[in-house]
Chains A and B, each alone.
Chain A
Amino acid sequence: MAITTVPQIPRKAGRPPSPYSAGPQRTSLGRKVRDNLTGHAFLIGAVLCFVVFSWYPMVRGIVMSFQRTRRGETTWVGWDNYTRLIADPSFWPAWKNTFYFTVLALVLGYAVPFFVAILLNEFRHAKGYLRILVYLPVMLPPASALFLFKFYAYDPSEAGLFNAILKALHLPTSQWMQSPGMTMPAMVIASTWMNMGGAVLIYLASLQNIPGELYEAAELDGAGVWRRIRHVTIPQTRLILALLAMLQIVATMQLFIEPLILANGAGAEDSATSVAYLIYQHGFFQNDLNGAAALGVIMLVVLAGFSAVYVRLTAKQD
């Protein structure tokens, strides 16, 4: 993305006025140059970090994906890395799992926080307490939270927390991470528990910006609670809803630490392998940094579609 924006820059864009240059009397050329140098001097530290750790790696990732480095010798290999990656038996399962996770996480991790926020917004009591509770798991290091799920909640015997609860309710227990069918739902539950707090708080803030008169008017027109949610709450928070959907899709597509810790990586029968985990595998275990870079580029292309929508939405908001 960083590359595509460059040609669009209008070369002759006028400099917006700043108190350091705009004034009643015209400033001299020397003064202008000096002011600009000062401005750039303040920028240089951050810009260098962006160049070295963000912009340059972006370009380098694309270049690397068409190269192959063997014994210190780098050659151009065209699309070889891509074809090799696509032929990897884990490639399609990884995409399937990642999409499955993304969709499940959208259902659980996206709708649930919205309704939780609507509920919390109606309460006149214990608001602060509930808000702290919801956000608390977000502050745990993900590794800590996931070990808790792995060892205590998803224990496949009846000593595990979830199975003990299911048994107490006379429901069938589950093998959790050991059954390929439950792997993804189990990861979504853990991930939602860890991450939903941020979304809840953002929704709460946007709900508080809805003018009360709208609800008043809707009620006078005879709209019930559900119709008020449908015709007032949702349209009024549309932008935030769309924005968070994009952000969440981008975040869940990068699913990594959940499979790594909960399923030791691939899980039973490749049921946990994610695209990000495959990048990690190729890059850091199979000594295939070029293949990993190619998979990264594929991921970027897939997400570029979502990002395009995101850009349009944020542009509209301005």
Chain B
Amino acid sequence: MAQDSGTRTLISHAQLRRGRGRIIYWTLLTVVVVGFTLVFLGPLYWMVTGALKSGQEIAQTPPSLFPKDPQPQNYIDAWNNLDLAKLLFNTFYYAVGAVVFQLVFDTAAAYSLSKLRPVFGNVILGLMLATLMIPAMVLIVPQYVTVIDLPILHINLLDSPFAIWLPLVANAFNIFLLKRFFDSIPEELMAAALMDGATPLRTLWSIILPISRPILGVVSIFAVTAVWKDFLWPKLVMPSPETRTVSVGIYAFAGGTPMNVVIAASVIAAIPTVVVFLVFQRNIMSGLTTGSLKG
């Protein structure tokens, strides 16, 4: 595990290897590893095992570390009573659609802004980036009013997945991430494609997209987690029980359901994002830092 990064940080390597520094380093490391495990993994352990406890055991003092008489029935009840299969499917469906819509429209827009650069492209980009400064809560009411009666078309999007998919396309952060990546692709490549008579669409498809796989992955992961974590917007635009997302569904049932079952449902709801994170943690972390540090 020992990895010497080679770069000098706050405290020099030499100091950490010498007598006193070495002792402090190892004590601190142990304390932090144990402490962080307790603080960040502990609650998750409590959640998973707590949902296995019976109603009496949960109310006992002091609380027990291991469930004495594990009740997997809580998980089964959560699955059946809350119709979690349906809720998870809905959320998954919205997440996949969000990925597709964002990849298609945001990639095309970023490509145009970065490589084709039509007139007023910079104005459009500026207006898009300006939305980053508008807090979501400020827009929630007028957005809702717009979704229940789309301008000109007069369509009501309530309970339609488009009410989740289309607003997510208006994501300036994604366009910014993609455009920055496309900006780093040399213009010569574009010129060469043009020489060979490739249309802009063909250039995007066969030259730009294959090199851009890492950033497309990051955008997709962000789209999935955004849908999975979002709460207020899906709660407003997906009012019927049949179209709810998993977070909203658990919230809706929380009032009249035993709390162990609510927690069991929360555990099940958290599994997909946690798995996505553990599988793609490298991409997620690099995407996070490139996005915020501007490359």
Measuring CB to CB, which residues of chain A are less than 8 angstroms from any residue of chain B? 1-2, 5-6, 9, 13, 15-16, 18-20, 35-40, 42-43, 45-47, 49-50, 52-58, 60-61, 64, 118-127, 129-137, 139-145, 147-149, 151-153, 157-161, 164, 167-168, 193, 198, 201-202, 204-210, 212-213, 215-216, 219, 225, 228-229, 232-233, 240, 243, 250, 253-254, 256-257, 261, 275-276, 279-280, 283-284, 289, 292-293, 296-297, 299-300, 303, 307, 310-311, 317
Contact = CB atoms under 8 A, between A and B. Distances in A.
Nearest to A60: B142
10 contacts: A18-B115, A50-B131, A57-B139, A118-B10, A140-B270, A152-B50, A254-B136, A256-B232, A300-B138, A303-B138
Interface stretch (B33-41, B66-74, B212-220): B33-41
B109 A47 contact: yes
A310 B129 CA distance: 13
Nearest to B294: A317
Contact of B274 (A6, A140, A160, A207): A140
Given A42-B204, A205-B289, 19 more contacts: A5-B130, A18-B115, A39-B118, A122-B16, A123-B29, A126-B29, A136-B41, A139-B225, A141-B231, A143-B251, A153-B43, A161-B43, A164-B61, A198-B288, A202-B289, A202-B293, A225-B10, A254-B136, A279-B141
B246 interface: yes
Given A64-B145, A126-B33, A143-B266, A225 B41 contact: no
B71 to A, nearest CB: 15
Contacts of A210: 9
B146 A119 contact: no
Contacts of B92: none
B166 A125 contact: no
B7 A219 contact: no
A37 to B, nearest CB: 8
A133 B117 contact: no
A130 B204 CA distance: 39
A215 B10 contact: yes
Interface of B: 1-5, 7-13, 16, 25, 28-29, 32-33, 36-37, 39-41, 43-44, 46-47, 50, 58-63, 104-106, 108-109, 111-113, 115-119, 121-124, 126-128, 130-131, 133-147, 150-151, 166-167, 169-170, 175, 187, 190-191, 194, 200, 204, 225, 228-229, 231-232, 236, 246-248, 250-251, 254, 259, 262-263, 266-267, 269-270, 273-274, 276-278, 281, 284-285, 288-289, 292-294
Nearest to A251: B135
A140 B43 CA distance: 12
Contact of A121 (B9, B61, B136): B9
Contacts of B228: 141
A52 B151 contact: yes
Contacts of B135: 250, 253-254, 299-300, 303
Given A139-B276, A147-B254, A119 B131 contact: no
B131 to A, nearest CB: 5
A13 B122 contact: yes
B35 to A, nearest CB: 10
B3 to A, nearest CB: 6
A39 B274 contact: no
B116 to A, nearest CB: 4
Contact of B137 (A134, A167, A206, A276): A276
B2 A289 contact: no
Nearest to B277: A139
A55 to B, nearest CB: 7
Nearest to A47: B124
Contacts of B147: 53
A141 B50 CA distance: 18
B198 to A, nearest CB: 11
Contact of B63 (A2, A159, A229): A159
Contacts of B194: 19-20
Contact of A141 (B115, B169, B273): B273
Given A45-B169, A159-B60, A300-B135, A206 B293 contact: yes
A62 to B, nearest CB: 9
B247 A143 contact: yes
A202 B41 CA distance: 21
Nearest to B122: A13
Contact of B267 (A144, A225, A297, A310): A144
A144 B175 contact: no
B221 to A, nearest CB: 10
A41 to B, nearest CB: 8
Contact of A147 (B12, B112, B130, B263): B263
Given A35-B116, A125-B29, A135-B285, A5 B4 contact: no
A70 to B, nearest CB: 15
A168 B61 CA distance: 11
A303 B138 CA distance: 10
Contacts of B248: 143
Nearest to B284: A135
Contact of A45 (B105, B139, B263, B266): B105
B140 A144 contact: no
A27 to B, nearest CB: 12
Given A13-B122, A60-B146, A225-B11, A142 B229 contact: yes
A139 B269 CA distance: 11
A218 B61 CA distance: 53
